[in-house]
Structure 1
């Protein structure tokens, strides 16, 4: 069985590499390498958003939220995952007109505020995407150990090398080409796995009940997830690349809405399995993994299908993150070939510590939450950049206020700034509303206040 599973996974990775290596753009063109500018239709973008935004996390987080918190929090998670696409669909055309030759969120920040803010935005974005990469590779290692006898390290390294092979060579076009096939494959495999799992679902006891979480707590978790996931994904450079890859504004809007709707449906579907697992009374495991608890009751062959699904999910998100990091680290100031080579080597180098962390099998959820919080403290000042009254001072002050707002709830609750910092670092690896809401409100309020005061001062001079 390990040899058959290894062969199936190897065949899937070889197919992804073949598709990616075929999709090279204009040789030597830095712009084509990092943006594939004005080349993608609405359908192509929608499929790409689905494939690049969904990773192995959908097999863990939505079922667990559904099982233990219920449909309200699950809906918040689904909304938070889709909302960044809606924001880019609505706001993206404005960005394209304001920055027609743009390539990244960092360049957008520089055009609005200068190079200092660009460096900060680049740091936040790379930190977030590095955590995302580590989480995805850690997840595929854990899933491999659960569903097969194949050594997890083989799969982690195999996915990393395969995706690097075609993204380093072909850039964004390679990622987009594989995304189209990966989106259809993961949706097909997901339907197959869900269908078989439901067929072997044990009879629900009478009466079966949804998780008994107070409505206020469920709403609090839902709001936390909306803020955290939306803010973090707006620093996902892979999404920003697709703003300029769209053929036109209409294609961008169509792709964003298509990706958002499919994302909501998939997360609600897979999360509902968690609720069914909890209601059926099956053992959810320790740590609890409702989706895989249901798989244990299905035929053994469905485990191989689920593993191929997980590899597809991870590969589709990892190649997007790799391409996004290369885009952030490339430079217009250097010769195109030299800049591409620099971006390639830095991306490869960055994957070394990411793989090292993934091979340890550690939980990166706490790091993920901290990166999400940094994004929440920075996202509104960055997106306000196209407002004529915003200034670099307002953006920087907003970002700093967001960081203070993140620690303020813990500071007030536990009586000291150190306690506030500890609370904002999520020591129990549990997302809480206070730091995220504080970061968002403080950064928004301070940015608006400084911008309006500066505008009023200019008007009176």
Structure 2
């Protein structure tokens, strides 16, 4: 089976490389390299949103949520994964109108609130995307070990180098071109795994109950996931690139709807496999990996299919993140050449690959990065309100940091314990830090804006 797995992986990576390289535009234009401005129709944008958002995480997190927390939390997870696309469809056209030649959310923060907010937004974006990259590459190494006898570290390097080849050379157009095919391929592979796994599930006993926790606890987990995923993805530069890549507002709207609907279906379907595995009484493993527990009951050849599926998922998210981080660097430094942009893409991947090769869990870092995103996202997007100024936005972002700690500080009476809870020990998501960050940041930014009445509003009508 080693030869079969090796050939399947090599074929998939060669296909992605060929698709990416042939998409490169002939003109050496830096703006086109990072934005592919106004070039993509609704279908291309929708499939790109789907492929970019999907990663190896869907083989771990939704099945585990389904198996242990139940369908309510799974529904929240599916909604949380899709909701950012709708937010991009609503806010994206407004930001495009204000910045027709823009490239990133950090540029918008700079235009409205100055360099200080831009640097903070860029730092949060890079931290989040670097965590995402490390998590995806770490996951493909772990999946390789679960499904085959191949060296997981070699596969990590292979995926990273392959995606670098076509993203460094072809830029955003290469990522968009591969996204279309990767989206179709991952849906076909998921359908195959879903069909075969479902057939080989042990019979569910009549006494089996749906897995889950008390209803309101499940709702709390679902809401936490919606808030965390939505706030974090609004700092995903790869998604913002697609806002400017869309041909027009209609293409962005239709593409976001297509990406959102397909994302909900995919996350819900994969999570349902976790629920089925739990109801069938399978050994889910330690730590629990319901999706891969199902493969133990399936034909051996399905392992190769699942491995190609995992590589497709990882490649589709990794190439988007690589180009997104490079785009932030290009936007931050004027006068950069296309060659420099390509080398920045390569250089930024070196520390990420080194972290991924360690095989460590990055879930806790992921949650901390999500929380950082939640502290600042509302003040940044309030830039669409013309009355909000620099001081109000910065105060809101600082208040968001306080709000992430304040609820548990009040509950426990200990600042140290509150900080520890907000760092998510054990990688367990909790609602209070996210709600506190969002509510306090919005409240302070809004209050300062309303208190700062313009002279025109203070004058008497007569």
Report the TM range for the smaller structure's normalisation: over 0.9
Aligned to 1:52: 52
CA distance in 1, matches of 2:70, 2:324: 34
Matched, 1:395 2:393: yes
CA distance in 1, matches of 2:305, 2:343: 34
Equivalent of residue 373 in structure 2, options 372, 375, 386: 375
Matches within 5 A, 1:95-114: 95-114=95-114
The 10-residue stretch of structure 1 (3-12 or 368-377) with the greater mean CA deviation from structure 2: 3-12
Aligned to 1:276: 276
Aligned to 1:6: 6
**TM-score in terms of structure 1 length:** 0.98
CA contact (8 A) 1:5 1:304 kept: yes
Matches within 5 A, 1:151-162: 151-162=151-162
CA distance in 1, matches of 2:350, 2:456: 50
Matched, 1:256 2:251: no
CA distance in 1, matches of 2:188, 2:114: 45
Matched, 1:43 2:36: no
CA contact (8 A) 1:282 1:293 kept: yes
CA contact (8 A) 1:134 1:354 kept: yes
Matched, 1:361 2:359: yes
Shift of 1:343: 2.9
Q: Provide, for residues 300-330 of structure 1, a one-character-per-residue CA deviation record: whole Å limited to 9, x for no partner.
A: 1001000000000000000000010111000
Shift of 1:457: 6.7
CA contact (8 A) 2:143 2:310 kept: yes
- Report SS of the residue matched to 1:330: helix
- Report SS of the residue matched to 1:361: coil
CA contact (8 A) 1:106 1:121 kept: yes
CA distance in 2, matches of 1:172, 1:150: 31
Q: Provide, for residues 57-102 of structure 1, a one-character-per-residue CA deviation record: whole Å limited to 9, x for no partner.
A: 0000000000001111001111111010000111111111111111
- Report SS of the residue matched to 1:379: helix
Aligned to 2:192: 192
Matched, 1:296 2:261: no
CA contact (8 A) 1:26 1:32 kept: no
Shift of 1:140: 0.5
CA contact (8 A) 1:332 1:339 kept: no
Matches within 5 A, 1:308-387: 308-331=308-331, 334-335=334-335, 338-387=336-385
CA contact (8 A) 1:50 1:263 kept: yes
Aligned to 2:81: 81
CA contact (8 A) 1:331 1:339 kept: no
CA distance in 2, matches of 1:339, 1:449: 43
Aligned to 2:420: 422
Q: Provide, for residues 375-416 of structure 1, a one-character-per-residue CA deviation record: whole Å limited to 9, x for no partner.
A: 001111111101011111111001000000001122123322
CA contact (8 A) 2:4 2:304 kept: no
CA distance in 2, matches of 1:420, 1:86: 33
Q: Which runs of 5+ in 2 are unaligned?
A: none
CA distance 1:188–1:394, change in 2 (3 Å):
same
CA contact (8 A) 1:25 1:36 kept: no
CA distance in 2, matches of 1:209, 1:121: 45
CA contact (8 A) 1:42 1:252 kept: yes
Q: Provide, for residues 220-244 of structure 1, a one-character-per-residue CA deviation record: whole Å limited to 9, x for no partner.
A: 0000000000000011101100001
**What is the Cα-based RMSD across aligned positions, in Å?**
1.2
The 10-residue stretch of structure 1 (405-414 or 234-243) with the greater mean CA deviation from structure 2: 405-414
Aligned to 2:285: 285
Shift of 1:339: 3.4
- Report SS of the residue matched to 1:307: helix
Aligned to 2:173: 173
CA contact (8 A) 2:52 2:316 kept: yes
CA distance 1:418–1:343, change in 2 (3 Å):
farther
CA contact (8 A) 1:73 1:221 kept: yes
Shift of 1:30: 1.1
Shift of 1:290: 0.6
Shift of 1:456: 5.4
Equivalent of residue 403 in structure 2, options 385, 400, 405: 405
How many residues matched? 459
CA distance 1:125–1:192, change in 2 (3 Å):
same
Q: Provide, for residues 175-203 of structure 1, a one-character-per-residue CA deviation record: whole Å limited to 9, x for no partner.
A: 00000110100000000010000010110
- Report SS of the residue matched to 1:297: coil
CA distance in 2, matches of 1:402, 1:369: 15
CA distance in 2, matches of 1:349, 1:423: 34
**TM-score in terms of structure 2 length:** 0.97
Aligned to 2:202: 202
Q: Provide, for residues 339-359 of structure 1, a one-character-per-residue CA deviation record: whole Å limited to 9, x for no partner.
A: 333332233222111111111
CA distance in 1, matches of 2:244, 2:60: 32
Aligned to 1:445: 443
CA distance in 2, matches of 1:202, 1:457: 73
The 10-residue stretch of structure 1 (31-40 or 104-113) with the greater mean CA deviation from structure 2: 104-113
Q: Which runs of 5+ in 1 are unaligned?
A: none
